[in-house]
Every structure is written in C-alpha cells, then in structure tokens.
C-alpha cells in the first residue's frame, strides 16, 4: 500500500469508527436535540470516512472500494486511533472524547487544506467546516457539564481522567508520517499539538475541570492495528449485514 493510501486509511478509519460510536446514541441521548446533534455529527464523520476510504482504495490499486475497506477488513487491519473506539460510556465520556478528538481533527484538516495531494486537500477543505461545528458543540457541552451541578462536574472530571492518557497517540509520528510531512502531504503532529494544547487547556479552565497529571499509562498502537478488546465487538455489529450477504446489491 502506498504512503498516501495508508495515510488516508488511517484518517478514514478514525472518522468511520467514531461515526459508528456516535450513532449508537441515537434514541438514547439525554435530550431529543442531542439525538439529532450527535446523529448529524456521525453523518458528517461518515461522509469524511467515505471520501478518505475511497482515496485509500484507489491509491492502493487492489480494486477495493469504500465498502470493502469498511466492512470486509478484520480488526487488525483497522488503523484508527484508540480514543475513537472507546465505548460511549457516560454522556460526559462522549463529550470529553469529542472535545479532545474534534480539537485535534479541526487542526488536522486545517493543515491538510494546504496538502500537496489534491485529493486530501479537497477532503480537508469540506471537512474543516463540519469539524468546526463538532468542536463548538463539544465545547458548549463541556462547559455546561463541567461548570454545572456538582454531579455533572464530578462525572466530567472522571471522564477526563479516563480519556486523558489517550491524547498522546494523537500526536505520534512514525516513519510514514515523517515521509509525508517532508513531501508536504501530511500534517505535522507537532504543529497540531501546538494549537491543541492551549485550546483544550483554556476550555478545561473555563469548565472548572483539571487536566490530570501524566502517568505511565499511554495507550497506543492503533495505527499499527493494535486495539483494545472493545473494537472487535463494535466491528462485528457494524459489519454483520454486509458480510451476511456478500456481493448483494441493495
């Protein structure tokens, strides 16, 4: 697989997996408006996933399309960050996850609008507008929950404690990323972190939440196909219909 194909696959898997997680809130969110809001965010992410997986399929040259990549790959072939595969958990977990990831994704797409790869730049140009809303939505809920009641504050702080270690993987660089940065194709994780850190810190401060101290635990491996045990059951749920009738046209 070419470098660009692998890079597009990584970003597409991030969007696809988080889309499915957010879609699981449908008819279960704490407010009717949140059913709509989270579903709309999930649909935005699904659209991003489709475009990125299409790029990956074309660039790898093996005849696989977006559906093949989404529904016919086993768990170990998924390249998503581990934060997006986590169970939705408490509503505060979902909101904190969305804050951490959408802040990263917005900076990512903003950088990719200047990518030397025209296909990635085109995807980023459309997605950056969508993700700006995703981040704004997450910020508003973080402030509402963090600086709300004592119970909502405690739940939000607990969610932050659980999710904080996963942020490290957002900014990892490997040989593939380094090559694509040199070619002007990929976004530099160091640049992304330079905007992510102060923005998230400001939101947490306003929400009266405290960023946890770094510990030894830093979950990683998603880009290499090493995932938590929760991804397999999620993929089984997502893929079962397509796999039950291979090749069928609906």
- Burial of residue 34 (number of CB atoms within 10 Å: 0-12, 13-18, 19+): middle
What's the structural domain count of the chain?
Answer: 1
Q: Is residue 215 part of a domain?
A: no
CB 57 within 8 A of CB 64: yes
Nearest to 121 by CA among 69, 51, 45, 190: 51
Q: Is residue 249 part of a domain?
A: no
149-158 contacts at long range (C-beta below 8 A, 24 or more positions apart)? 152/92, 153/208, 153/209, 155/90, 155/91, 155/92, 156/92, 156/95, 156/96, 156/207, 156/209, 157/209, 157/210, 158/90, 158/92
Put simply, whether the predicted model's pTM sits higher than 0.85 gets the answer yes
Residues 6+ apart with CB under 8 A from 138: 95, 98, 99, 102, 103
- Burial of residue 77 (number of CB atoms within 10 Å: 0-12, 13-18, 19+): exposed
Q: Is residue 104 part of a domain?
A: yes
Q: How far apart are CA 1 and CA 77, in angstroms?
A: 12
Q: Check residue 187 and report its DSSP letter.
A: P
Domain containing 168 equals 3-209+220-244
Q: Is residue 172 part of a domain?
A: yes
pLDDT of amino acid 221: 97
Q: Is residue 120 part of a domain?
A: yes
pLDDT of amino acid 28: 83
pLDDT of amino acid 250: 65
Residue 169 belongs to domain with CATH number: 1.20.1260.10
Tens of pLDDT, residues 12-33 = 999 999 999 999 998 888 888 8
Distances in whole angstroms, Cα of residue 222 to Cα of each of 85, 162, 219: 10, 17, 9
pLDDT of amino acid 35: 85
pLDDT of amino acid 160: 98
Tens of pLDDT, residues 89-138 = 999 999 999 999 999 999 999 999 999 999 999 999 999 999 999 999 99
Averages of pLDDT over each 10 residues, the chain, 250 residues: 95 98 89 90 98 98 96 97 96 98 98 98 97 98 97 98 97 97 98 98 98 91 96 95 80
Which residue do the tokens 């404690």 mark?
161
Distances in whole angstroms, Cα of residue 126 to Cα of each of 79, 93, 248: 22, 27, 31
Q: Is residue 198 part of a domain?
A: yes
Q: Is residue 57 part of a domain?
A: yes
pLDDT of amino acid 216: 81
Q: Is residue 131 part of a domain?
A: yes
CB 38 within 8 A of CB 26: yes
Distances in whole angstroms, Cα of residue 190 to Cα of each of 24, 168, 170, 217: 33, 11, 10, 21
């Amino acid at each position: 697989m070419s470098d660009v194909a692998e890079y597009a696959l990584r970003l597409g898997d991030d969007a696809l997996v988080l889309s499915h997680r957010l879609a699981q809130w449908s008819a279960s969110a704490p407010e009717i408006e949140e059913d709509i809001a989270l579903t709309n965010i999930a649909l935005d992410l699904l659209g991003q996933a489709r475009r990125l997986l299409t790029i990956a399929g074309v660039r790898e040259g093996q005849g696989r399309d977006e559906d093949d990549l989404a529904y016919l790959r086993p768990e170990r072939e998924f390249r998503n960050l581990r934060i997006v595969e986590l169970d939705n958990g408490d509503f505060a977990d979902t909101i904190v996850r969305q804050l951490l990831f959408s802040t990263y994704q917005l900076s990512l797409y903003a950088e990719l609008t200047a990518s030397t790869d025209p296909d990635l730049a085109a995807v980023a140009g459309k997605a950056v507008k969508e993700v700006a809303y995703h981040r704004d939505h997450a910020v508003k809920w973080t402030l509402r929950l963090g600086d709300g009641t004592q119970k909502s504050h405690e739940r939000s702080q607990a969610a932050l404690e659980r999710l904080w270690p996963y942020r490290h993987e957002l900014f990892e660089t490997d040989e593939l990323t380094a090559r694509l940065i040199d070619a002007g194709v990929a976004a530099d994780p160091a640049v992304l972190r330079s905007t992510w850190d102060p923005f998230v810190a400001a939101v947490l401060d306003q929400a009266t939440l405290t960023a946890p101290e770094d510990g030894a635990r830093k979950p990683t491996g998603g880009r290499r196909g090493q995932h938590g045990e929760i991804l397999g059951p999620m993929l089984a749920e997502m893929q079962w219909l397509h796999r039950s009738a291979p090749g069928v046209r609906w």
